[in-house]
Amino acid sequence: MIALLFAHPHIFWLSLGGLLLAAEMLGASGYLLWSGVAAVVTGLVVWLLPLGWEWQGVCFAILTVLAALLWWRWLARRPQPKANAALNQRGQQLIGQRLRLDDSLSNGRGNARVGDSSWPVMADEEIEAGTLVEVIAVEGIRLRVRRVKPDNVTP
């Protein structure tokens, strides 16, 4: 078996590349991808140009570093998506949303239906039930709302 690898070293490099790429598919998070690609390319180079084992190792090392650097450079140029600051903060996501009051606000406090849940709301004025309001802030677990002016109502 060893004699076969010495006679055909490209088989070793192609096999190593295949194993590294298969291991990458099992979840190595990109660490083995570029080494696997470098091993496959080294196998193809050795198949075309008979090189000694020293040069094969140098070729593999250079290709691995080169592939990783090119990948890093490509990733650095890609625009990164910005994280949503309101993620997992349902109240913050409701700011700007328009709601209808379930009941009239008594002393500036009441409830409004948001989707399938009821949220406590508060306002600086008394507002009747069924009025369209807009969420302007979140204070603790309460939504601060204001009446939507009739000229701002969209049909």
Query: Which is it for the CA torsion 39, 44, 47, 48, positive or negative?
Result: negative
Predicted confidence (pLDDT) per residue in 51-102, tens digit:
888 999 999 999 999 998 998 898 888 887 776 665 667 777 788 889 888 8
What does the pLDDT read at residue 22?
92
Domains of the chain: 2-77 (no CATH), 90-152 (2.40.50.140)
- Read off the pTM: 0.50
Region 134-153: what's the mean pLDDT? 84
Tell me what the pLDDT averaged over the chain comes to: 85
pLDDT at 12 over 80: yes
Please choose, from the candidates 18, 7, 20, the residue with its C-alpha nearest in 3D space to the C-alpha of residue 53.
7
What does the pLDDT read at residue 92?
78
| Interatomic CA distance for residues 145 and 102, integer angstroms | 13
